[in-house]
A and B are shown apart, each in its own frame.
Chain A
Amino acid sequence: MLRRIRNLVRKELIQLGRDWVLTAFIITLPALQLLLLARSTTASITNLRVAVVDRDRSAASRSAVEALGNREQLEIHSLTATIDEAGRLLDRGEAILAVVIPEDFSETLTRPGGTPSVQVITDGSNDLMAGIALSAAREALTSLVRQEALNPAGGSPSLIDLRATVRFNPALDVKIFTVPAQVGFIVYQVTLAVASIGLARERELGTLEQLIVMPLTRWELVVGKAVPALIVGMINFLAMWAMAVWGFGVPMRGSPWLLLALTLLFVAAEIGYGIFISSIAHTQQQAILLVFVLAMVDMAFSGYLVPIKNLPAGLRMVARVVPLHHYLTVIRNVMLRGAGLDVLWPHALAVFVVGALVTAFAVRNLSGRLD
């Protein structure tokens, strides 16, 4: 039996190696993607552009503009004369925030009991950026007024002094959070791309029949198809992991062996998914489109772009059967928090159960086709 699997694995590897275009892409694209995504997503959000309509043109209004520009989140893009002009900038997306300072700003500011008002308009079409820009502007303006508001007390010391300690990431470096997740994504994409095609291609090219007439059981066939994908997935993981640790300086606080073992489990589960897709699709085109549907759903529920704990209960249940979600939790916990199996076993168990069920289903599905 082992010999038969070995022969099948060898055939698969020869096939993969002969397809040098694909092999070259498998080697280069993951590294490029990691580089691109890490560089695009790890900077903190700065320089959201602000258009200012300063109708006051006084020292006070100028210092308000300066206070806005001094916030790292904001950048003064232009000083415009009218609201309409600022509105056009919002329309075109050239500014995300418009601040209107009225004519009587400095006058009301210096008058005792006067309440100057400032209008802040934001582009709500990206609600997240709008929220960040709004709160930055709010902070800038209130702290300015706090200084300028002729507060005779000069600010009494606060009654409560909040002392904050940041664990695991004292410098609050965004990269440390995002890069391990990107590594997980890349391993996911590569594994699925290799595993989902195998059987569908044999079926489409008509070579599946040849495999059927060979003295192979369906389990041997599945294992033979899985091993090359496992090799590709694991090599990819090692390369990406090394890049994260030595290239991007992500700490490795937990046990590398634990991470390796759990990655193996995850890759195996994803191969189960791949073979499942391969077994229900009639053509490669169908298989690949299904991979994309699955990938979109998995990305959404992975907990990277959107934290899972904020989801409604029904959607949280869906996230529990997504191996990628568990794996991202595992890779972050091991690398950044140094967690061990005592904490991570529920995730490992979930990946195992989901993977085993899907694989069993795929094999059963296959038998219906083979006989």
Chain B
Amino acid sequence: MSIHRLLVVARKEFYHITRDLRLLFLVTVAPAFLLLTLAYVFALDVERVDLAVRDLDQTPLSRDLISHVTADGDFTVVAGLQERPAVERLFTTGVADMVLVIPRGFSRTALSGESAQVHCIVDGVDALAASQSLGLLESRVQAFVAKTARSRAGLGAESMTAAAVLKIEERAWYNQALKSLVSMVPGLMAIILCMPALALALALAREKELGSFESLIVTPVRGIEYLLGKLVAYEIGGVASAVLALLVATLWFQVPYRGTLSDFLLLTADYVLASMGISLVVASVVRNQQTAMFLILMIFFVPSFFIAGLIRPVAEEPIPRAVAYALPSTHFITISRGLFLKGLDLAALEAPALALLGTGVTCQTISLLLFDKKLR
């Protein structure tokens, strides 16, 4: 293997990237741009429930209940219903997520000390959101009961509610205010940094498709030099785009970065290596760029959004779990959150870092063997 020939290939690839301005943009700037867009969408701190209300009672107590439920903005009254509602239509048009019906005589029953009924109809299509908003409504209603009971009895708080008996000190480490943005931006880094790896897979598939691969066979460049040369060029592009994304995260979004810069560079290079390894294997299997794109899109890119621990934790079931841990993005989400928020060092991130290194080296070796065979 000759370092000189390797660098020649790397330089050729650099020319290719920098001469093609759009490609240069897509490999280096696009990840930062995507972070900018995605972070805004994923950084949601408020979950609002749109409530349609039918108040048949129309008493001070029923109005109090409604204003208590909607007091802090979790529930918003979007419609006051005069007639019997076409609930289905409210849900299909997306006007409301929940309908609250306060029957006639509500106030009278409640004030007489009996249990007064309130009906609530919820759109169960989004099961998770539905059960959350039901739980929230239930706790609001019980808090309302406690409050009115207290004010009527004229008693101090401690004798009435059990909640006051226990003091729970809650603390969130790493992200004190539990802001979504702070937790999503480091996670999204893993998703956006797949762009350079994808570009590498395409660059290789392109040489095969256009036939310029064959002309390489007659040059003295050997398979390993060829592959490593390309790798060097795109690896540098990948780390450069990561630094740009880091700047966007810390300067624009003000997400704290608590690790060291050298750890960031090292571990990002590790991640880019692993994802490029997978790209290389894909590129050595396929015959053209379209197939390469399809494979990467379906197997790595889209699943990364859903199963790599970005939002939900990695699944418990064995098969999805194994697939998740085969994806480099799963490990990098752990690394990125560890560096940004937990301020971990290399020793604490050893396991995911080694997993990435293992993926990288294994995949590079496989693709090298496949390529070497073809080059001979």
Contact = CB atoms under 8 A, between A and B. Distances in A.
A311 B26 CA distance: 27
A118 B117 contact: no
Given A21-B287, A21-B291, A289-B198, A161 B162 contact: no
A201 to B, nearest CB: 7
Given A25-B294, A176-B125, A126 B306 contact: no
Interface string A252-264: 0000000000000
Interface string B212-232: 000000000000000000000
A158 B162 CA distance: 14
Contacts, number: 366
Contacts of B50: 309
A1 B131 CA distance: 57
A161 B106 CA distance: 11
Contacts of A281: 22
Interface in A159-214: 159-170, 172-174, 176-177, 185, 189-190, 193-194, 197, 201, 204-205
B176 A124 contact: yes
Given A157-B115, A309-B50, A282 B22 contact: yes
Contacts of A297: 34, 37-38
B117 A163 contact: yes
B346 to A, nearest CB: 13
Interface stretch (B86-94, B353-361, B363-371): B86-94
A13 interface: no
A161 to B, nearest CB: 5
A360 interface: no
B169 to A, nearest CB: 5
Interface stretch (A31-39, A217-225, A239-247, A348-356): A31-39
Chain A interface: which size bin? 35 or more
Interface in A105-145: 113, 115-131, 134, 137-138, 141-142, 145
B324 A172 contact: no
Interface string B276-292: 00000000011111111
Contact of A162 (B120, B124, B166, B171): B120
Contacts of A129: 312-313
A300 B40 CA distance: 9
B133 to A, nearest CB: 10
Interface in A264-306: 281-286, 288-293, 295-297, 299-301, 305-306
B319 A39 contact: yes
Contacts of A215: none
A329 B288 contact: no
A336 B125 contact: yes
B162 A307 contact: no
Interface stretch (B137-145, B242-250, B264-272): B137-145
B348 A167 contact: no
Nearest to B129: A307
Given A126-B183, A161-B118, A41 B176 contact: no
Nearest to B93: A343
A242 B291 CA distance: 25
Contact of A40 (B122, B127, B206, B306): B306
A30 B302 CA distance: 11
Interface string B141-165: 1101100110000000010001111
A55 interface: no
A141 to B, nearest CB: 6
Contacts of B299: 29, 33
Given A160-B118, A163-B117, A141 B166 contact: yes
Nearest to B171: A121
B130 A166 contact: yes
A160 B202 contact: no
B115 A25 contact: no
Interface in A317-352: 329, 332-333, 336-337, 339, 343
B294 A193 contact: yes
A44 interface: yes
A90 interface: yes
Nearest to B341: A125
A160 B303 contact: no
A166 B167 contact: no
A88 to B, nearest CB: 9
Nearest to B203: A285
| 3 closest cross-chain pairs (CB), A and B | A124-B175, A169-B124, A146-B162
Given A41-B312, A161-B117, A165-B121, 19 more contacts: A19-B291, A25-B294, A40-B324, A41-B306, A45-B312, A46-B316, A121-B171, A126-B187, A127-B179, A129-B313, A151-B162, A158-B115, A166-B122, A177-B127, A288-B289, A289-B26, A297-B38, A337-B91, A339-B92
Interface of A: 19, 21-22, 25-26, 29-30, 32-33, 36-37, 39-41, 43-48, 87, 90-93, 96, 113, 115-131, 134, 137-138, 141-142, 145-146, 149, 151, 157-170, 172-174, 176-177, 185, 189-190, 193-194, 197, 201, 204-205, 281-286, 288-293, 295-297, 299-301, 305-307, 309-311, 315, 329, 332-333, 336-337, 339, 343
21 contacts: A19-B291, A26-B294, A30-B298, A33-B298, A36-B307, A36-B323, A39-B320, A43-B315, A124-B178, A130-B172, A141-B168, A145-B162, A163-B117, A167-B88, A176-B127, A204-B206, A288-B289, A289-B26, A291-B293, A300-B37, A310-B48
